[in-house]
Amino acid sequence: MIRQRFLRIFWSSLILYEIFCLFLAGIIRDHSPSFLSPPLPGLLAGTFLLATLLPLYLVLSFRGFLPRRRSLNVLFFLFYFFAGVFLTGLLLSEGIIAVHNFLFPGSVIRGAVRWTSAETTGGLLLLALFGMALFERVRPPRVIRKTLFFPCLSPDLSGTTILHLSDLHVGAWQGEASLKRICETARSLSPDILVYTGDMIDYRPDEARIFERIFGSLKGRLGTFAVLGNHEYWTLGEGAPAFMKSHGVPVLQNESRLIQKGEGRIRVVGIDDPAGEGVCQGCGPDLARGLRDVRAREFVLALVHQPTLWEGELKTRADLTLSGHTHGGQIGGRRPFWNLARIFFRYDAGLFEGDSPALRGHLLHVSTGLGYYGIPVRLGMAPEMTLLTLSAAPGVSFPSPSPGPGSASPP
């Protein structure tokens, strides 16, 4: 899994850097031929070195082999965004010019004029997308409402609402005004059950106090539950569970709680995050311990941070699993459209159903989250919270996952 993750990041980074460098070389050549030597070979060599070392550092730092420098992470994702958008503009311009040259051979556009047109298109596209990203930041969070059908659901549980919040990343790119707007939107939904699926904080311990001050009074009528994400462990280390609990976060660490509603019973199971493995005793995912109290006829609601934990026993034992972590890649669209998370995750965003007849009706919901990682940009993946309503009546369909094994990624 580590090798797959590294190869995906490495090759996508290398291709992006090298294409960007070739475009840059072409622009320099047409605008100032005298600049080709000696700076251009050095520029190419430097870009290739950066293309190799930066993604390598990213993977090794996420695995704990190197210190995590937030500034380098931001640099990596900023380059991805700038280079990707600018290249898209350049390629769009090249396509338009190629069509023009084909249709009008008597007025072929070439040389410096061609590159200037490409640069202008790339720059304008970058400005337009930044404007869209800014608009997304000032809008209220998106509320998605879904009704989920479970044939064996107790009638007393039908109509139960679950509000799913994930990846707030308090302190990263969001001011308190934005966080309070999220909290008030959630409060207005008055859920029966409120859950947080990890990454409540981003990279500073004092963000837990901000979380407690803003979200501490937000409760579900039947209960409020949370699991830790990788950022809690990266920031707080072995003290993550106790520290978050001391600041009012109702953490379930490979354990469960029972909710009784009439004759219906909901078993809420919280599975710890893989980032906790080896950090402290009892940290990291332990499905056997988390599921040991599950009894027959209980509706099993499982909380995890990373959707890859849904594979295996959890998929067979849990009726509904809620997760986050992916952010939907922060850029792209929902299925059937593409997004950045699909490079790394089989389950990228939205609802998924078990892929065999025996697992029909076992569901996974992956939230695209409410915060930001790397860069404060979301395009097509607006910050979201999801209000899920349990029902014993049919009426909902689910997408199929991407082919291939799941894998973890940085968010």
Q: Considering Cα of 196, then 134, then 12, then 42, what sign does the dihedral take?
A: negative
**SS3 (DSSP) at 387:** strand
Give helix then strand counts, H and E, for the chain. Answer: 10, 11
Q: Mean pLDDT, the chain, as a whole number? A: 82
Question: Per-residue confidence at 25, pLDDT binned at 50, 70, 90?
Answer: low
pLDDT in tens, 191-242: 999 999 999 999 899 999 999 999 999 999 999 999 999 999 989 999 999 9
What per-residue string of b and e applies to 365-401 under the rule 16 or more CB within 10 Å gives b? bbbbbbbbbbbbbbbbbbbbbbbbebbeeeeeebeeb
pLDDT at 140: 80
Question: Per-residue confidence at 95, pLDDT binned at 50, 70, 90?
Answer: confident
d(CA 272, CA 232): 11
Tell me which of 46-50, 121-125, 169-173, 246-250 is least confident. 46-50
Widest distance between CA atoms in the chain:
82
**SS3 (DSSP) at 352:** strand
d(CA 140, CA 129): 19
Determine the residue type at 290: G
d(CA 191, CA 198): 19
Length of the chain (residues): 411
Question: Per-residue confidence at 373, pLDDT binned at 50, 70, 90?
Answer: confident
d(CA 226, CA 282): 17
φ, ψ for residue 379, nearest 5 deg: -130, 110
List domains and CATH numbers for the chain. 2-137 (no CATH), 143-391 (3.60.21.10)
Do 349 and 366 contact (CB within 8 A), yes or no?
yes
Residue from 1, 2, 9, 85 nearest 51 by CA: 9
